Structure 1
Amino acid sequence: MPDAAARERAVAAVDARCRILLISSPKGGSGKSVLSRHLLVSAAQAGLKVIGLDFDRQQTLAKWAARRARTREAFPDFADTAVVPVSLQDWRGALRRTDSYQLAVLDTPPSVEDHLPAIDGLGEAADLILVPAVCTQDDVESVGPWVKALAGKGFTCSVVLNRANRRTTSYARMRGVLVKAGSVCPTELPQLEDIHVPSTKGLTLLDYSKSRGIEPFEEIWAYVRREVGL
């Protein structure tokens, strides 16, 4: 049997590996990049060495990070969040970029059906897959089958409801459909009118301590951190 020192080394090796968080949805406009950048900032503010990989050819997340880098030149107290534009065609090479980090947040394009082998490879590497979804019939019809497909492959995934309004009857109905499809994050993101305003400077709501709407992002980060073992 391995001695105590060997067990400690094994535990340390597991703790030292980079956790992979995959953000994936077949529906455009579901909030993948918004969720990705808030999780990147959450992790950086928590003192973790974090990297973002932007697999979307539009490079929304990478462009946001470039704006953030320019802002940090004048205000270096904002948490550092590196984002690298990468290709789904070289997803294995992209994953190798994460070796020296504690957490990698992977933002992917909505056209998952065009890149299934790559998405499957990333899914196998991921500790957790978050699937953002707006509470509409169109989103549910797209996201529900995707969540079932991910779960059927043995991947750990969870839906994050975005732009949710609990006061509407459609919210309860759509949430119920998604709960039947798979796991749903206990915290949803409400409709926030000013959520895109800070992004013009590469910032997020989390960069402003008195910003409205930061609590849901803090709670989702706590959920993610627990689920991936950080």
Structure 2
Amino acid sequence: MSRSRGGGQRTILISSPKGGSGKSVLARHLLVSAAQAGLQSIGLDFDRQQTLTKWSMRRAQTRDAFPDFADVPVAPVVLQDWRASLRQANGYDLAVLDTPPSVEDHLPAIDGLARAANLVLVPAVCTQDDVEAVGPWIRSLTDKGFRAVVVLNRANRRTSSFARMRGTLIKAGPVCPTEIPQLEDIHVPAVKGLTLLDYSKSRGIAPFEEIWAFVRREIEL
């Protein structure tokens, strides 16, 4: 079972069996949301590609010139030593764990992280390939007693496939009521280690604010 809620640190695990689902995009927006809310947050990057770590390094360079941007530390860690890696989050209000897509190759470690987490977020693009991969994964997580929620990414409500894909995933497990839209603007700020949330008037900011509000309620933070 996932860790009981109450006082102390919160941990969010972001996990999906499908590459390109948007794990790092979701992780960095959650980290910035937490920092802007006055919470001490840290990202733990378990993915060997270190996408989240590289983003954080670019952010540190940007903050050298513009220190008003919130500090968002990210530590590169390894799944093989996940217990010790989790200790790097001691003293923080929130830890966001970004993981590699090949979950079937790391099931004991992913299960351990899920057990330590207050919530597992499973991003999924609205395609048949993603639904076929994510459906069984969210079902597996919930069957094991973990609190897990699908977050739809690159969603386009105007397409005929959106409702069908969303409906299929709802049958497999809980789905976040707000999805991440398909916007090129989401990736532009990442070049400088920033997010849409770092710009108060940026296009597409609302969905990330809503997802943060949803997650914060779910983990009682």
In the superposition, the TM-score normalised over structure 1's length comes to 0.93
Q: Work out which of the residue numbers 54, 63, 88 in structure 1 matches 2:79.
A: 88
Where does structure 1 differ by over 6 angstroms across 4 or more consecutive aligned residues? none
Q: Work out which of the residue numbers 113, 117, 137 in structure 2 matches 1:146.
A: 137
Which residue of structure 2 aligns with residue 132 of structure 1?
123
Matched residues, percent identical?
76
Listed one character per residue, the Cα deviations across residues 20-67 of structure 1 (whole Å, up to 9, x for unaligned) are 100000000000000000000000000000000000000000000000
Which residue of structure 1 aligns with residue 98 of structure 2?
107
Which residue of structure 2 aligns with residue 203 of structure 1?
194
Which residue of structure 2 aligns with residue 163 of structure 1?
154
Cα displacement (A) at 1:14:
3.9
Code of the residue aligned with 2:25 in structure 1: it is V
Gapped regions of structure 1 (runs ≥ 5) = 1-12
Which residue of structure 2 aligns with residue 227 of structure 1?
218
Which residue of structure 2 aligns with residue 6 of structure 1?
none
Q: Work out which of the residue numbers 23, 33, 51 in structure 1 matches 2:24.
A: 33
Distance in 2, Cα, partners of 1:220 & 1:167 = 20
Which residue of structure 1 aligns with residue 70 of structure 2?
79
Code of the residue aligned with 1:180 in structure 2: it is K
- The answer to whether residue 128 in structure 2 is matched with residue 117 in structure 1 is no
Code of the residue aligned with 2:9 in structure 1: it is C
Q: Work out which of the residue numbers 204, 208, 212 in structure 2 matches 1:217.
A: 208
State whether residues 185 and 204 of structure 2, in contact with CA within 8 Å, keep that contact through their aligned partners in structure 1.
Answer: no
Distance in 1, Cα, partners of 2:77 & 2:86 = 10
Distance in 2, Cα, partners of 1:214 & 1:129 = 22
Distance in 1, Cα, partners of 2:209 & 2:34 = 10
Listed one character per residue, the Cα deviations across residues 181-212 of structure 1 (whole Å, up to 9, x for unaligned) are 00000000110112111111100000001100
Listed one character per residue, the Cα deviations across residues 156-203 of structure 1 (whole Å, up to 9, x for unaligned) are 000000011111110010000000000000000110112111111100
- The answer to whether residue 49 in structure 2 is matched with residue 58 in structure 1 is yes
State whether residues 6 and 220 of structure 2, in contact with CA within 8 Å, keep that contact through their aligned partners in structure 1.
Answer: no
Helix, strand or coil for the counterpart of 2:186?
Answer: coil
Structure of larger gyration radius: 1
Helix, strand or coil for the counterpart of 1:194?
Answer: helix
Distance in 1, Cα, partners of 2:163 & 2:200 = 31
Code of the residue aligned with 1:171 in structure 2: it is F
Distance in 1, Cα, partners of 2:146 & 2:160 = 31
Helix, strand or coil for the counterpart of 1:38?
Answer: helix
Helix, strand or coil for the counterpart of 1:97?
Answer: helix
Q: Work out which of the residue numbers 145, 163, 166 in structure 2 matches 1:172.
A: 163
Code of the residue aligned with 1:108 in structure 2: it is T
Count of residues in correspondence between the two structures: 217
